Amino acid sequence: MPNYNKTILMGRITHEPELKTLTSGTISVSTGMAINRNWTDKETGDRREEVCFVDLQAFGRNAEIIHQYFTTGMPIHVEGRLRYRAWETTNGEKRSKHDVLVDTFQFVESSNSDQHDSVTDTGTVTNDEIPF
């Protein structure tokens, strides 16, 4: 059976992108995004909101551009793949999480242009330089 791992998300940056240089010399950036889902409850008629928080990691030129142009609250559209990581803390506790490795992203025009000086619709940035 073939496998397929593709994730497409659009939301807002939750914290300032953190730039690092890996021991291999590859540039990496870590940040997060929030994806809001709004709906009206059919039984009560109340407006509801659900927020999903996702960690993002990008490499190479993608990492440089995300670090340079994106700040907290800015909208972003990403395409990538899910990655599962598991580790053990120094206290022996087992931890795990999923995050998204960004393959491509797009700038999204902000509906609140006074809040952020955003770069809009400059196209898609791609990167095949994932270090693993």
Which of 57, 75, 58, 79 has its CA nearest to residue 8?
Answer: 79
The pTM of the full predicted model, rounded to 2 decimals, is 0.77
Residues 79/7, Cβ–Cβ less than 8 Å: yes
Cα separations (Å) of 45 from 37, 39, 42, 49? 16, 9, 5, 13
Q: Kindly list the domain boundaries of the chain, sorted by start residue.
A: 7-125
How do the pLDDT tens digits run along the chain, 132 residues long? 889 999 999 999 999 999 999 999 999 999 999 999 999 988 998 999 999 999 999 999 999 999 999 999 999 999 999 999 999 999 999 999 999 999 999 999 866 544 444 333 444 444 454 444
Class of domain 7-125 as given by CATH: mainly beta
Which of 101, 55, 47 has its CA nearest to residue 79?
Answer: 101
Q: Label residue 19 exposed, middle or buried (CB < 10 Å: 0-12, 13-18, 19+).
A: middle
